[in-house]
Amino acid sequence: MDGRFGLIGRSLVHSYSPRIHAMLGKYEYRLYEMPEENVCSFLRSSGLDGMNVTIPYKKNVVQFIDELSADARAAGSVNTVVRRPDGTLFGDNTDIYGISELIRSVAGNNIAGMKALVLGSGGASAAAVRALSSAGARPVVISRSGENGYSDIEKHSGATLLINATPVGMYPDTGKSPVDLTRLPGLRYVIDMIYNPEKTALLLQADSLGLKNAGGLLMLVAQAARSSELFTGRKLPEDTVASVAKHLAAQIRAGIDPHADLPVIRLLVINGPNLNMLGIREPAIYGNKTYADLVDFIGRRAVGLSDANGAVVFAECFQSNHEGAIVDKIQEAYGTADGIVINPAAYTHTSVAILDALKAVALPAAEVHISDVNSREAFRKVSYAGMACLRTVAGYGFDGYGMAMEFLKDYVMRTGNQ
């Protein structure tokens, strides 16, 4: 375990944060609801190693922080607090990173000079303005009390991007929208920072108008991932945000409550050399599906193995053609994963280093091979990695990965090895 962390706010009953952080790493993460008058004492004396802060306290906590990051100072709000070894508090605003990732996913990397409307004037709005300004865009804040209001929003009809940073349209008041998009004919992109529901009334209207749009789930995961890195000091893989967001959205669509207090079983799925060439390499043996198809299959299988009454399964995929990189990845799994599914490919028959790494981390592991290696050349029947695995599944194609994942889920649940 990497420490004790949590989320503070006034009402947290609908928070996805514990589920997200459980997919990001193996550390304690709990919800702490409290009135405003308790925030200062909690920050100072809770004993937590770090915490996230949500509405309505993101601006309020600034006064209690010993040192602010440049982003937190610019936004005037904090959503991530880290307790340093000397007891002082460092505050950052990872919402800015989160909204930046969301903007890039919708409008691309080059938004310099783009006029963008930001609805709302709270902490979320400040983060959006900071992200837009840093990227060279021209943000305009629309609020009920500022110089730019909703009543005359048409004067900004040339705006290209709109970001909703208000709670209007959030569950349970899902039928509401902060603005009628037909009043802004120049829009091309619409972002709603709300993540529940997945499609707000605002985004549904954007769909009907043919505007590219996205909800706030990716931002939620991205800011959590950056917070996790600050909490643990561990850099997450580049594809973590997209992977966790995709998994979480699939869980929700499958009817698995994102608020439910369910254990999360983290599986690392490692693929060795030449498996990135699936679909090209010897299709008579390995089939016509690509490595991207395999990653998609593993993600869907993880959701399929998740049970609203049992546990959630999250699978991280990794592929390398290099022995050392695979060894490094196995070592990184120590303390961060509950089990390893591994297809060492050609290293199956040669790599003592991979065998030793699997033994060193001592995590439950299952070996997988797409083809039936026992019916092929004699050298393929020798498996060093298999000596450290609880089970080997060979000859079942992609389904073999699902079988190995199911075995490890059941093993972890049965043994409590989590």
Fold of 4-92: Rossmann fold (3.40.50)
Tokens 């040339």 found at: 158
Determine contact, residues 8/34, Cβ cutoff 8 Å. yes
Tokens 């699902």 found at: 402
CATH of domain 262-415: 3.40.50.9100
Select 96-215's CATH number: 2.170.190.11, 3.40.50.1370, 3.40.50.720, 3.40.50.10260: 3.40.50.720
- Reading the block at residue 187, the tokens are 């829009």
The SS3 of residue 366 is strand
Identical fold, 96-215 and 262-415: yes
Q: Is 199 an annotated catalytic residue?
A: no
pLDDT (tens digit, 9 = 90+) per residue, 49-89? Answer: 999 999 889 989 999 999 999 999 998 989 999 999 999 99
d(CA 408, CA 86): 41
Q: How many CA atoms lie within 13 A of 33 on its CB side?
A: 6
d(CA 298, CA 399): 9
Pick the catalytic residue from 26, 58, 246, 329.
58
Determine contact, residues 236/225, Cβ cutoff 8 Å. yes
d(CA 99, CA 126): 11
**Rounded to 5, what percent of the chain is helix, strand, coil?**
40, 20, 40
Write down the domain spans for the chain: 4-92, 96-215, 262-415
d(CA 56, CA 224): 18
- Reading the block at residue 395, the tokens are 């000859």
* pTM beyond 0.85: yes
Question: One digit per residue, pLDDT tens: the chain, 418 residues?
Answer: 579 999 999 999 889 999 999 999 999 999 999 999 999 999 999 999 999 999 889 989 999 999 999 999 998 989 999 999 999 999 999 999 999 999 999 999 999 999 999 999 888 898 999 999 999 999 999 999 888 999 999 999 999 999 999 999 998 889 999 999 999 999 999 999 999 899 999 999 999 999 999 999 999 999 999 999 999 999 999 899 999 999 999 999 999 989 888 999 999 999 999 999 999 988 888 889 999 999 999 999 999 999 877 899 999 999 999 999 999 999 999 999 999 999 999 999 999 999 999 999 999 999 999 998 887 888 887 899 999 999 999 999 999 999 999 999 999 999 986 6
Q: How many CA atoms lie within 13 A of 72 on its CB side?
A: 24
Question: Which strands, in side-by-side order, build the sheet including 138-142?
Answer: 138-142, 115-119, 161-164, 189-192, 212-214
Determine contact, residues 103/147, Cβ cutoff 8 Å. no
Q: Got the DSSP string for 145-172?
A: SSSS-STTGGGGTT-SEEEE-S-TT-TT
